[in-house]
Amino acid sequence: METMQIAPARLCGSIRVPSSKSLAHRAVIAASLCQGKSVLRGVDLNDDVRATLAGMQALGAQAAWQEGRLAVQGLHAGERAQGDCLIDCNESGSTLRFLIPLALALWGEATTFIGRGNLGKRPLDPFFEIMRAQGLPFSHEGDPLCLKVRGPLQSGKFALRGDISSQFLTGLLFALPLLQGDSDIELTTPLQSAGYVELTLDVLRDFGIKVVPTPGGYHVPGGQHYCAGSYAVEGDYSQAAFFLVAGALGSDVAVQGLRADSHQGDRLVMDILQRMGAQFNWTGDALQCRAPQGLRGTRIDAAQCPDIIPPLAVAAALACGRTEVVNAGRLRIKECDRLSAIAHELGALGAHITEQPDSLIIDGVASLSGGRAFSHQDHRIAMMLAIAATRCDKPVLLQEPGCVSKSYGNFYEDYQKVGGVCGR
């Protein structure tokens, strides 16, 4: 088992975080659905985005790098392709849930989705209910993932739960404009991670697609065409969150590449850290976070921002007082059981964390001790532990550190660039 030693060191300097993984998924899909060539700027091809790009290529799009930009030749969505199709989602839940409706809408024969890790444990029931209602055949094996579906998806009325994952809604919003008739989506429960849906609507609008919000959901006119063009992907708040937390804990890091008016749901990291006592300063597109008086505990609702709970758990572990992380059950079905991993691994470093079925109770301590910790082969747990190491008394011995390639392949290089001390 590979081990990396990360020594205690405060960070100082400036880094540019990767482009938003959430927006990159959406831009790649939208560009692939155009009848023409689009140029995407600022795309970082981490493992998850590679899976989405490969999936859209399997459906008929073409892509190539041109002068540091991703040029995408869209598929001809007016004609259903023929022959069986295989889409390897790797460990990307976004790829799986975004592309299932598109495969049903675009592909003439069977489509097989495969994946690895915990992907087969991710719920897919909302799509199964739609396929049953329309009489579409499918088969599903969960471990490892093997899902076979066959269209054609028909326009109409779709009842969809909003409290499992917004990814189901995004998948439908991409596919329904391509169908001949109009469609209506009715949300049967409150929508979680609503910020991610706003990102989807932003991208659809930028590529010429009209979606009309209704009191209970969305009206999607059919027969629309995606319009090719140029698109720039902004920096990722979910990755920036790790370095912003480091700043709140005493480091001096400027995070570049972010938009102050972003609709990314993980921009909530700023609101939460401000409630904990942090202050923010913008200089152009560079954001700095400091907490001159230290951090204090607060209540964090994970329903709208599950991906930033790992770095926020580090902030809470070193804050004064108690922090409660609630509505966090979805963290159990990520790349690993993140609730358990956060509690166990930060606890191994000296944090005081109580794990509950869908929440964490974190009582802050003055510093962490360091020691051996395991990434659980989860990119966000690995990065969480690296940030925790900045406030440890002894080095952190991180097992299986390489999983950061899923979303932030250059994380350790950037970490070292701003003074982090790590090595295998």
Domain that holds residue 239: 3-18+235-423
Task: Tell me: do 306 and 221 sit in the same domain.
Answer: no
- The residue out of 201, 232, 263 marking a domain boundary is 232
Task: Tell me: do 66 and 117 sit in the same domain.
Answer: yes
Tens digit of each residue's pLDDT (9 = 90 or more) over 378-394: 999 999 999 999 999 99
Tens digit of each residue's pLDDT (9 = 90 or more) over 29-87: 999 999 999 999 999 999 999 999 999 999 999 999 987 899 999 986 555 556 789 99
Residue ranges of the annotated binding site for phosphoenolpyruvate are 21, 93, 122, 167, 338, 380, 406
Round to whole Å and give the CA distance between 326 and 7.
32
Task: Tell me: do 179 and 258 sit in the same domain.
Answer: no
Tens digit of each residue's pLDDT (9 = 90 or more) over 308-336: 999 999 999 999 999 999 999 999 989 99
Residue ranges of the annotated binding site for 3-phosphoshikimate are 21-22, 26, 165-167, 193, 307, 334
Residues 119-125, mean pLDDT to the nearest whole number:
92
- The residue out of 187, 211, 232 marking a domain boundary is 232
Residue ranges of the annotated binding site are 21-22, 26, 93, 122, 165-167, 193, 307, 334, 338, 380, 406
pTM: 0.89
- pLDDT confidence band for 19 (50 / 70 / 90): very high
The CATH number that applies at residue 110 is 3.65.10.10
Position 402 pLDDT exceeds 90: yes
Task: Tell me: do 144 and 264 sit in the same domain.
Answer: no
Q: Six-digit token pair at 48?
A: 């998850």
Task: Tell me: do 408 and 274 sit in the same domain.
Answer: yes
CB atoms closer than 10 angstroms to residue 406: 24
Residues 366-377, mean pLDDT to the nearest whole number:
97
Tens digit of each residue's pLDDT (9 = 90 or more) over 179-218: 999 999 999 999 888 889 999 999 999 999 999 999 999 9
Of residues 122 and 158, more confidently modeled: 158
Task: Tell me: do 264 and 140 sit in the same domain.
Answer: no
What is the per-residue pLDDT for 384? 98
Percent of the chain with pLDDT over 70: 98
Q: Please check whether residue 56 is in contact with residue 29, taking contact to mean a CB–CB distance below 8 angstroms.
A: yes
What is the per-residue pLDDT for 192? 82
| Structural domain count of the chain | 2
Of residues 77 and 288, more confidently modeled: 288
What is the per-residue pLDDT for 390? 98
Residues 14-23, mean pLDDT to the nearest whole number:
95
Task: Tell me: do 213 and 311 sit in the same domain.
Answer: no
Task: Tell me: do 189 and 280 sit in the same domain.
Answer: no
Position 342 pLDDT exceeds 90: yes
Task: Tell me: do 199 and 325 sit in the same domain.
Answer: no
Position 230 pLDDT exceeds 80: yes
| 3-state SS track over the chain | CCEEEEECCCCEEEEECCECHHHHHHHHHHHHCECCEEEEECCCCCHHHHHHHHHHHHCCCEEEEECCEEEEECCCCCCCECCCEEEECCCCHHHHHHHHHHHHHHECCEEEEECCCCHHHCCCHHHHHHHHHCCCCEEEEECCEEEEEECCCCCCEEEECCCCCHHHHHHHHHHHHHCCCCEEEEECCCCCCHHHHHHHHHHHHHCCCCCEEECCEEEECCCCCECCCEEECCECHHHHHHHHHHHHCCCEEEEECCCCCCCCHHHHHHHHHHHCCCEEEEECCEEEEECCCCCECCEEEHHHCHHHHHHHHHHHHCCECEEEEECCHHHHHCCCCHHHHHHHHHHHCCCEEEEECCEEEEECCCCECCEEEECCCCHHHHHHHHHHHCCECCCEEEECHHHHHHCCCCHHHHHHHCCCEEEC
What is the per-residue pLDDT for 68? 81
What is the per-residue pLDDT for 80? 53
- The residue out of 232, 259, 291 marking a domain boundary is 232
Question: Catalytic site residues?
Answer: 307
Tens digit of each residue's pLDDT (9 = 90 or more) over 247-280: 999 999 999 999 999 999 999 999 999 999 999 9
What is the per-residue pLDDT for 108? 73
Beta bridge partners of 145: 142
- pLDDT confidence band for 354 (50 / 70 / 90): very high
What is the per-residue pLDDT for 392? 98
Task: Tell me: do 250 and 226 sit in the same domain.
Answer: no
What is the per-residue pLDDT for 82? 65
Task: Tell me: do 370 and 288 sit in the same domain.
Answer: yes
Task: Tell me: do 31 and 160 sit in the same domain.
Answer: yes
Chain mean pLDDT for the chain: 95
